[in-house]
Amino acid sequence: MTNQQYSHNSLRTSKKITLKNTADFKIRLLNWAQQFEQVVWLDSNEYPREHSNFDAVLAVDAHSFLKCGYNNAFAELKRYKNNTQDYIFGYLSYDLKNDTENLTSNNLDGLQFPDLYFFQPKKLFFIMDDMIEVQYLDEYADEMDTDLENILKQNEMPKRVRHDVKIHKRITKKQYLQHIDVILEHMHRGDIYEVNFCQEFYAENAKIEPLEVYHHLNEISKPPLAGFLKIDDKFILSASPERFVRKEGNKIISQPIKGTAKRLANKKADKQLAIALSLDEKERSENIMIVDLVRNDLSKTAIKGSVKVEELCKVYSFVQVHQLISTITSIIDKNTDSIDVIKSLFPMGSMTGAPKLSAMKIIETLETTKRGLYSGAIGYFTPEDNFDFNVIIRSILYNQSNQYLSYSVGGAITAKSDPEKEYQECLLKAIAMKKALKSSHY
């Protein structure tokens, strides 16, 4: 590390450092972070910073925190954020739907995560290209130099541990197909047009080293919105490709994903699959239905006439899959609180369906597991009231104390859905998590 430079604001002391090897530093930094009870790591995996101010960020060690159930959760979060007026990092679980609508969540919950958790970190590390900006709350600033020395002393990779994980399906294929038939009956009656139906894969008595599994998952997928979250004994290991919503000044950006195709080793055949996905009538209709839903949700807080579709059904190619992604934006009044924007959009349309309320009721009836953090969001708020949140998909959730491990996958069901193909799409999306839990990857 070279070129060290200090600066100061009302809350935090900061220091900018030039890195010699950014990839190496990121690994050592995340290893060092494991000593803390609260850790949030967000990594763009070097995707272009079109909608981001940094390549990666680490937030650790709570100076203050908010943990609560869904009752009045958004009001509590608004109060906490506005009182803190600093960076706060954390997550929103899917079951905050019960705060936005008159709904319940009574399905099995093996993970036992709180519905909402945010914390104000004592220590922050922002990585941009070969530069890192370290920001410590003033009362902890004297620990900065010692911490930086200790980070450089860390091993390059975490210790390899043999994982003892036997994955089970929460429902059988036969049950899955039966549930799809019920959904199609709802569609034929006009109750819904689209619903995102999900299934859980789980392990009991699971013993894993979470950081090692995260590194493996990230290595397999290299997504633009990866995340590692640790809150006490609970972990999220996320390889999410999807942005839920971001605020940049008075601009709101949402990028729902709907439409999936596998990747192929043969470049020509792979390109043909991507083109076929962009033209697929069923996949495009899935995406466009959600675009309409997001436009409607954004309009609740937008300045009149400001909602725009900047990209419609654009193919983005990731390591595991091709995806159709649309980008919808709006402009809000300067006095509109960021929490009101998020609440108006939550839960995200890509993980519910249309109409949203009817879809969520059907999801609760037909899915056998409480979603919890799955199809929720990880992210942060800035002191300027900006924010950025991913969608918690392609993610492994782990409760270390009760040794329960879970990952869920799903897909959009429409009247044109082929139940067998939908099931195969679920298995395709589960590949990365399944591979990541194999221990022999170094």
Written as one string, the DSSP assignment of 357-421 is HHHHHHHHHH-SB--TTTTSEEEEE-TTS-EEEE---SEEEEETTTTEEEEEEEEEE-TT--HHH
Query: Would you state the structure tokens that stand for residue 244, as one six-digit string?
Result: 């839920």
Q: Which residues pair with 360 in a beta bridge?
A: none
Q: How far is CA 434 from CA 163, 221, 242, 422, 441, in A?
A: 12, 12, 20, 18, 13
d(CA 176, CA 211): 32
Query: Which class for 139: exposed (0-12), middle (13-18), buried (19 or more C-beta within 10 A)?
Result: exposed
CA distances from 322 to 75, 315, 427 (A): 38, 7, 15
CB half-sphere exposure, 431, CA atoms < 13 A: 12
Is residue 185 annotated as part of the catalytic site, yes or no? no
- Catalytic site residue from 258, 361, 370, 429: 258
Catalytic residue status for 308: no
Catalytic residue among 242, 283, 286, 364: 242
- Residues with catalytic roles: 242, 258
